[in-house]
Amino acid sequence: MRLSMQLQMPEAKPITDAGGKAVKIGGDVSKLADAQGIVDGAIEHFGRLDIVVNNAGIYELASIEDVTEEHFHEQFNINVLGTLLVTQAAIKHLLGGGSIITLSSVASHAAVPRTAVYAGTKGAIDAVTGGLSRELGPRHIRVNSIQP
């Protein structure tokens, strides 16, 4: 990744200072071991897991002439594979029910130049969310998407 996790992740302190509960746990969501470590860190800190918010993502504009394999794979690995891996790591902790929220984008259905790869990742997130909703619903796990 181009930027370090430290630069990309917000601090937990403003939340805890306001009386909320938060912990900062870093990792590369496109790697199974890191995704598992993020979930394990949350369980260790909070004692349980009720909700998963798949918010890690990358956005990089590129014209079709400038799309490279690296550009494509980096965005799909973080935006789509990362969502799947974190969700997979969290499932065993949500067996009694819970909520999974994925972050999509209006880009998934808006025709905006230079966003073909990014929009593709968000369209994939929409499909993943729908599939997981039907798969996990019978287990009392809600799966919804937000499209800012």
What are the catalytic residues? 118
Structure tokens belonging to residue 73: 């794979």
Cα distance between residue 48 and residue 4, in whole Å: 28
Structure tokens belonging to residue 113: 């130049």
Structure tokens belonging to residue 111: 């025709």
Is 141 buried (19+), middle (13-18) or exposed (0-12) by CB count in 10 A?
buried
The residue written with tokens 């302190």 in the block is 13
Cα distance between residue 88 and residue 48, in whole Å: 16
Structure tokens belonging to residue 144: 């919804």
